[in-house]
Amino acid sequence: MSNWILQYKDWDTEEHPLREALCTLGNGYFATRGAMEELKANDFNYPGTYLAGGYNRATSKIEGKEIVNEDLANLPNWLFLTFKIKNGKWLNLEDAEILEYLINLNLKEGLLERKVKFRDKENNETTLISRRIVSMHDHHVMGIEWTIIPENWEGEITVRSALDGNVKNKGVERYNDLNNDHLDILDNGKFDDNDIYLLSQTKQSKILIAQTSQLNVYQNNEKVNAKIKVGNDDKMIWHDAKFTCSKLQSVRIEKIAALFTSKDNAISDPLNEAQQKLSEIDNFYDIYLKHKIAWGQLWNHSNFKLETEDNSVLILRLHIFHLYQTLSKNSIEYDIGIPSRGWHGEAYRGHIFWDELYIFPFLNLHMPHLARALLMYRYRRLPRARYAALKNNCRGAMYPWQSGSNGREESQKIHLNPKSGRWIPDYSNIQRHINAAIPFNVWLYYQSTHDKDFLASYGAEIIFNTALFWLSMSEYNPKKDRYEIRGVMGPDEYHTHYPDSDNPGFNNNAYTNFMAVWTIRCALDLFTILDEKTLSELTQKVGYTNKDVEKWKILIKKMYIPFDSNGIIMQFEGFDKLKDFNWKKYTKKYGNTLRLDRILEKENDSPNNYKACKQADVLMLFYLFSSEELQKIFKDLGYEFDPKEIPNNIDYYQKITSHGSSLSRVIFSWVYARSNRELSLNNFNEALMSDVKDVQGGTTAEGIHLGAMAGTIDIIQRCYTGLEMRDDILWLNPRLPEEFKQLQMHIRFRSHWIILRITQKKLYLQFERGWANPVTISVNGQKREFASNDSAEFDLK
């Protein structure tokens, strides 16, 4: 059971912000932080309750420059729950003496339990047990149950429960100069003493948010007719329940709340619906029971069983759990993208990046409906991306590097180096490679689901548009007799421009050029997959011509990829001419060299001058593609690429990577999986700990790293199993780390549910009863067709 419970036993105020992020509850519709919140009645300014897609755009100026837009708005705080004994002060744990403390985050049931025994200044000893859920069954519903045990006192107590609109976005300290006030409170009041409401609206996006809440008191499992008094001010509404406690007799408080917004479907208006919903709920147990069933169904197919000697499986489950806090069946119906920090904190302001590249593989193989919904998020922003391309003198679609609600580019143009206190230019928006990540996600979704209707109706349009964008980005260089892509950045954000140039970007970033070729190949493949009518409609919609198709065919043969003289793929043209970096010196001086960019900028130097990477662009290729695929694409490009060169490339970049991105360890774990199982496992374990141990020192408290979390799951799911989908075949080629005795998991492939059980020596697979067409699976090269109910065992070499 302990593999299902994230537990903390000590009261560690230092660690509270981190714990709050890690104990965030959500259901794909909204998320609630504040593990501590009910107990800090004196500071409600950081509830961290976010509405998925609760956008708010706030342009702020710093040093005269337009700096960022925010796309994340706090919800009014529904967690406010406190009590006082007689005429004492409202509960405040920070002033109390903590006698016992326990947090259990139950991943299996999506339940956050906390038990605290404390002594206040009046020497009253109280035990408080809190259980909290954000319903996975009905995403409009949430509840808190408190059990209060007066250990050494008795008499009147007052419980105050509130909906509090005094919320600000203050979760990330360095954003404090930005506008952090995103809510207007329009109205609050009561339906009756027991039912209160608060109606608010985000300031710019004008999303209406209606919250309602109810307070019930139970003694001896009987509802107590407590005296309830409602009070309010402009921004807050509360009700106080007064009743009498006896020593050592526990009393139970239930706070039940409902939430609707104007973005909901099937509603009349949010407030009416929130009122109605509240009237339909019986009690906390009722919510809990349905919530537990919903979680049971979720875990049914999402669970990983992993026999190891450490607690890897707990962390893996925590990662899956947090994916489902941000995205779930509840988010399918909403226009929601994948924010890189989940809904767990305000860092990156709720913006959407390319992190979904790391998240789709898990969703494709477990919740394809959800993957499809997320691709639709991108599809809806295709017109905006086409407009961006047009304004950039390109054709097709140019997706932005950072985006928010309406899909326009939201990347900051300057950013703060906290180490130097300086604002420096930020060129990250020229990371055009997101325009390969998105079609890649489309393609992988299609490979795992065979959803041709989606491909024909939506996916192909994305692929053609991005392929056309890459075409217009490609310039012919007669000297090389090759095509080039100039002025872009790769994923490695340490490198923003050439040392001797003021222009941002590089020429021929290997990753970008390769992915452009991949995107174009994918577009060309569509001609053999789709029918003429669909294709002719797409031609009209996207605007490519026969001439473009001819040029695509040339580009996949003539794109330039930079190599050095030893056959190592260069991150970009001229990378080999950069200075070597003195890793020893800096590691000695700064200990942790993860954020080299900040360190060097403070010294008036820059990573741009060195062969030093935040994460290794080039290795992304070995992460995304099998050696078979790489070889094929390079061969068509006219480059001799021997897969035997892969280890040399890894070795080259391993030495110069600082792992400044949470994603870097995932990549290294992956690329070592075949050549060096120990190094792979080490990197896997590092990646696994990155949020739980907050390895970047403080960033997790600002929001977990969803890409890295999903990446660790995917290392188990695809990397160690050698799972690959290509040419309509599911390839398996497992190689578990020696420390793993056994792995068992479900995957969904083309509407089949398949159970995989893998040991060091055997692979066992079982198709559940289903109704999809037979599929082909190849285990270590042994190809077989499988249908519903089939099973097989394979010996592994």
Is 108 a binding residue for a second copy by CB under 8 A? The answer is: no
| Stretch in the footprint of a second copy (CB under 8 A) among 114-122, 174-182, 553-561, 762-770 | 762-770
Encoded one letter per residue, x for contact with a second copy by CB under 8 A and - for no contact, window 364-383 reads: ----xx-------x--xx-x
State the nearest-atom distance from the C-beta of 534 to a second copy, in Å.
Answer: 9
Which is nearer to a second copy, 62 or 293 (by Cβ)? 293
Choose which of 773, 782, 791, 795 interacts with a second copy (CB under 8 A).
773
**If DSSP codes are grouped into helix, strand and coil, which group holds residue 159?**
strand
User: Do the Cβ atoms of 214 and 195 come closer than 8 Å?
Assistant: yes
Query: Which residue from 707, 643, 633 is spatially nearest to 671, judged by alpha carbons?
Result: 643
Of 456 and 596, nearer to a second copy (C-beta) is: 456
> Of the candidates 765, 665, 747, which has an alpha carbon nearest to the alpha carbon of residue 363?
747
Q: Is 688 exposed, middle or buried (0-12, 13-18, 19+ CB in 10 A)?
A: buried
CA separation for the pair 251, 243 (Å, rounded): 10
3-state secondary structure of 701: helix
CB atoms inside a 10 Å sphere around CB 112: 21
If the CB atoms of residues 405 and 466 are measured against a second copy, the closer one turns out to be 405
Comparing CA positions, the residue from 503, 483, 505 lying closest to residue 492 is 505
Among 333, 426, 576, 629, binds a second copy (CB under 8 A): 333
Which among 430, 419, 428 is positioned nearest to 595, based on CA atoms?
419
Q: Which is nearer to a second copy, 104 or 211 (CB)?
A: 211
DSSP character for 192? E
- Is residue 188 a contact partner of residue 163, using CB atoms and an 8 Å limit? yes
Distance CA 577, CA 514 (A): 21
Q: Which residues pair with 233 in a beta bridge?
A: 236
Q: How far is the CB of 771 from a second copy (least distance, A)?
A: 5
Structure tokens at 568: 């190592």
Q: How far apart are CA 63 and CA 424, in angstroms?
A: 11
End-to-end CA distance of the chain: 34
* Contact characters 718-757, a second copy, x per CB under 8 A: ---------------------------------x-x----
Q: What's the token pair of residue 362?
A: 């898990």
Q: Whose Cβ is closer to a second copy: residue 365's or residue 600's?
A: 365
Shortest Å, Cβ 55 to a second copy: 7
**What's the CA gap between 485 and 509, in Å, rounded?**
8
Candidates 59, 152, 246, 457; binder of a second copy (CB under 8 A) is 457
Size of the site for a second copy (CB under 8 A): 56
Q: Which of 480, 575, 470 is nearest to 515 (CA)?
A: 470
Catalytic-residue membership of 493: yes
Q: Phi and psi (nearest 5°) for 548?
A: -65, -40
User: How many CB atoms within 10 Å of residue 125?
Assistant: 16
Please, which residue, 161 or 201, has the CB nearer to a second copy?
201
Binding pattern for the stretch 52-71 against a second copy, x by CB under 8 A and - elsewhere: ---x-x--------------
Which own/partner contact pairs does 596-600 have at CB distance under 8 Å and 24+ positions apart? 596/494, 596/658, 596/660, 597/417, 597/493, 597/494, 597/660, 598/417, 598/418, 598/419, 598/420, 599/419
Region from 308-316, 525-533, 586-594, 758-766 binding a second copy, contact rule CB under 8 A? 525-533
The yes or no reply on residue 533 touching a second copy (CB under 8 A) is yes
Q: Which is nearer to a second copy, 644 or 771 (CB)?
A: 771
Distance CA 702, CA 319 (A): 16
Residue 404 found at the interface with a second copy (CB under 8 A):
yes
Q: Choose between 140 and 659: whose C-beta lies nearer to a second copy.
A: 140
Nearest to 454 by CA among 442, 465, 464, 437: 442
**Is 788 among the residues that bind a second copy (CB under 8 A)?**
yes
Which tokens is 269 given?
């208006």
Give least dist CB 349 to a second copy, A.
14
| Stretch of 231-239, 318-326, 400-408, 642-650 contacting a second copy, by CB under 8 A | 400-408
The least CB distance from residue 774 to a second copy, in Å, is 11
Contact 167, 216 (CB under 8 A): no
d(CA 255, CA 212): 10
**DSSP structural state of residue 455:** I
What part of residues 198-227 is at the interface with a second copy (CB under 8 A)? 204-208
Nearer to a second copy, 592 or 773 (CB): 773
Q: Smaller CB distance to a second copy: residue 80 or 445?
A: 445
- Give the residue with the Cβ less far from a second copy, 383 or 638: 383
The one-letter amino acid code at 621 reads L
Q: How far is the CB of 261 from a second copy (least distance, A)?
A: 10
Q: Which of residues 17-56 bind a second copy (CB under 8 A)?
A: 55
Which one among 452, 486, 602, 674 touches a second copy, defined by CB under 8 A? Answer: 452
330 binds a second copy (CB under 8 A): no
- Which residues from 252-281 bind a second copy, rule CB under 8 A? 262-263, 265-270, 272-273, 280
DSSP 458: I
Helix (H) or strand (E) run with residue 548 in it:
helix 546-558
Span from 96-104, 189-197, 401-409, 778-786 in contact with a second copy (CB under 8 A) = 401-409
Q: Which is nearer to a second copy, 211 or 405 (CB)?
A: 405
The least distance separating a second copy from the CB of residue 254, rounded to whole angstroms, comes to 21
Residue 453 lies near a second copy (rule: CB under 8 A): yes
Contact between residue 700 and residue 22 where contact means Cβ atoms under 8 Å apart:
yes
Angle at 98 between CA 123 and CA 37, to 5 degrees: 110
Taking CB under 8 A as the binding criterion, the range among 18-26, 526-534, 607-615, 758-766 that sits at the site for a second copy is 526-534
State the catalytic residue, choosing from 356, 493, 686, 724: 493
* Footprint of a second copy on 622-661 (CB under 8 A): none
SS3 state of residue 150 = strand
Beta pairing partners, 600? none
Binding mask 667-706 vs a second copy (x if CB under 8 A, - otherwise)?
A: ----------------------------------------
Q: Which is nearer to a second copy, 88 or 770 (CB)?
A: 770
Interacting residue with a second copy among 531, 604, 644, 781 (CB under 8 A): 531
SS3 27: coil
| Measured CA distances, 476 to 479, 521, 680 (Å) | 9, 18, 40
Contact between 190 and a second copy by CB under 8 A: the answer reads no
> x/- contact string, 499-518, with a second copy (CB under 8 A)?
--------------------
Alpha-carbon separation of residue 485 from 430, 518, 767 (angstroms): 12, 14, 46
Minimum CB–partner distance for residue 204 and a second copy (Å): 6
According to DSSP, residue 218 is labeled E
One of 524, 768, 774, 790 touching a second copy (CB under 8 A): 768
* In the complex, minimum distance from the CB of residue 448 to a second copy, in angstroms, rounded to a whole number: 13
Instruction: Give the gyration radius of the chain's Cα atoms.
Output: 27
Tell which positions 587-626 bind a second copy, by CB under 8 A.
Answer: none
Q: Which residues are catalytic?
A: 493
Chain contacts with a second copy (rule: CB under 8 A): 55, 57, 138, 204-208, 262-263, 265-270, 272-273, 280, 293, 297, 300-301, 333, 335, 368-369, 377, 380-381, 383-384, 387, 404-407, 452-453, 457, 529-533, 537, 540, 751, 753, 768-773, 788
